[in-house]
Amino acid sequence: MTTTKRSFCLYLIKPSHYDDDGYVIQWWKSPIPSNSLAAVYGLTQDCIDRQVLGPDVEFDVEAMDETNTEVRVEAIAARIEAADVGMVMLIGVQSNQFPRALDIARPLRARSLQVGIGGFHVSGVISMLNGDDARFKEAQAMGISLFAGEAEGRLEEVLADANARALKPLYNFMNDLPGIEDTPVPFMPAGHVGRTAYNLTSFDAGRGCPYQCSFCTIINVQGRKSRRRSPDDIEKIVRANLAQGVYRFFITDDNFARNKDWEPIMDRLIEMREIEKLHFNFIIQVDTLCHKIAGFVEKCARAGVKRVFIGLENVNPANLMGAKKRQNKITEYRTMLLAWKAHHVITYAGYILGFPGDTPERIKHDIEVIKRELPVDILEFFFLTPLPGSEDHQKLHRAGVAMDPDLNKYDLNHMTTAHPIMSREEWEGVYADAWAQYYTPEHVGTIMRRAHVSGISASNILFLVTWFVGSVRIEGVHPLEGGGVRLKFRHARRPELGLENPLLFYPRYWGETAVKLVRWAALYLKYGLVLRKVEKDPGRDSYTDIAMTPVSAHEEELEMFQSADAQDWLNQEKRLERARHGISEPANTP
């Protein structure tokens, strides 16, 4: 006898979010790939292999990253309705993506199709606000199933409920975060990876962070305990991707330096590179004290790390202490950056604008200090943002402080609450000015010279600087959201803004695309001429400056340490150091 197969149509969609004109931010080649989508796709394939719904269920799975793929809701609905059963899972939805997720879900729910939403917004709102969020409640009222926590060991329950058309209103696993060692690993097919700018895929080697930064959501969603994949898991991920021609990876751990298995993981990758002669490379994220871990920087470089994101955040100790980022010690910044330079690794540093004590003058002064005294390559700026799921947001929410109700703006690229000193115009103005101040042709030349003497390709700096500056100036988005060739679809617009007349929309889109391409070419040429000047400089091989000078006993003479806040912090650090060594405080002289 033959058994009739039952079809289950499953869409895994990572939504994007809207630009200031209400259009979904999409690209021909998108930027950073979604690890959440890769993780759930890998878990789904495992569920299929194990036949968790029985041998008579046949899955039809489609994964979509909306940053590089048009989401056609009508076609999705028709495909699910043609199956025996199905659902749409909106994966890894951040706060700024939640409005778009609801707009995708709304017409699906109107046709009584099953929809689930998971990700940082749902988990953060459960963790810090116990669900007290307007958009969260709107989703519940629409009949959307919400998922808080992580899907390892839980996805099969959701699939079984969907198969029975009995999804729960809420799956809450925030108090039971799973171990991830020896679980199905993140994976995306090469066809999907090829839609990213670098043919770049992603995976998490671990989750959780031990620190307590008040602006961070990671610690309240993934916890402060290190949960990690094994070296065998990482090798499996790398080999599976090499087999399909993918060799560039972004390790999405918020702080890979605090992954307790960083060393055996790096040792395994070093063996694959140096013994087997396999070719692959990585981008990682670390803290500012990573260089103090014996062998960390060296082994990362040997394992194939080519770029590193560093949570620098600020050079003012008072700002860092106020945000509970006590692990950032400004006296270690140069040592850390020079350590990466010595191993030919490009450094990106995040820098937050809008701490309570910030003023336009102080921000501009500090950026000049960074340019002169810190050998960082790429500096990226962010508004201090009370992200739902963070301690900052929880405090403002409980205090009744006004915050922008539009979650779409919680992308770190928009002001979302008032500043105690700066007006809106001042804060937004200094944020816009910061990019222009740092990426002057003169300073870009300095970055290229530093790269050259550090064994880093200055042409890579040219590409990255063009990408960062062009994303802000030409595309009007943050560089971490910027991609290659902006796509706009007339129907992919916020419903409340309405559809534009096609006779207006298409000519304007084609025209602005042509203008943007010309501007991109001009920007690349502008910085390309800077590179040419650097390459023709006969003294390029012996270049040095204050930032590139080896760390000495005279560090405290640098301007970075001359502010009152820096002096107070230095004095406190000296007192703590004396106390650690049992040295008495010097007596006050009359």
b or e along 281-301 (b: 16 or more beta carbons within 10 Å of the residue's beta carbon)? ebbbbbbbbbbeeeebbebbb
Residues 3-49 have pLDDT tens digits of 688 999 999 999 999 999 999 999 999 988 899 999 999 999 999 99
Q: Look at 32-36, 91-95, 443-447, 521-525 and tell me which has the smallest mean pLDDT.
A: 32-36
The better pLDDT of the pair 301, 568 is held by 301
Nearest to 474 by CA among 515, 525, 432: 515
Condensed to tens digits (0 to 9), the pLDDT of residues 457-490 reads 999 999 999 999 999 999 999 999 999 999 999 9
Tokens coding 84? 């025996």
Give the range among 116-130, 172-186, 389-403, 575-589 with minimum mean pLDDT. 575-589
DSSP designation for 587: P
Q: Note every long-range contact of 467-476, with CB atoms under 8 Å and residues 24 or more positions apart, other chains counting.
A: 468/378, 468/380, 468/435, 468/439, 469/435, 469/439, 469/523, 469/527, 470/519, 470/520, 470/523, 472/435, 473/435, 473/519, 473/523, 474/516, 474/519, 474/520, 474/523, 475/516, 476/19, 476/20
Task: Give the residue among 22, 167, 170, 80 at the shortest CA–CA distance from 496.
Answer: 22
Model confidence band, residue 566 (pLDDT cutoffs 50, 70, 90): confident
Q: What is the mean pLDDT of the segment spanning 414-419?
A: 97
Q: Is the pLDDT of residue 217 over 80?
A: yes
Mean of the pLDDT values across residues 136-157?
Answer: 96
Rounded percentage of the chain residues whose pLDDT exceeds 70: 98
> What per-residue confidence (pLDDT) applies to 186?
96
Spell 135-153 as b/e; 16+ CB within 10 A means b. bbeebeeeebbbbbbbbbe
The bridge status of strand 206-207 relative to strand 227-228 is antiparallel
SS3 content of the chain, % helix, strand, coil (to 5): 45, 15, 40
Higher pLDDT: 367 or 212? It is 367
Residue-wise pLDDT tens digits, 96-137: 999 999 999 999 999 999 999 999 999 999 999 999 999 999
Q: What is the pLDDT of residue 590?
A: 42
Phi, psi of 290 (to 5 degrees): -60, -30
**Beta strand extents in 360-483 (DSSP E only):** 378-383
pLDDT at 329 (0 to 100): 79
Q: pLDDT of 349-365, one tens digit each? A: 999 999 999 999 999 99
Task: Dump pLDDT digits (tens) for 271-324.
Answer: 999 999 999 999 999 999 999 999 999 999 999 999 999 988 888 888 888 888
Mean pLDDT computed over every residue of the chain: 94
Predicted pLDDT of residue 585: 63
Give yes or no for a contact between 9 and 60, defined as CB atoms under 8 angstroms apart: yes
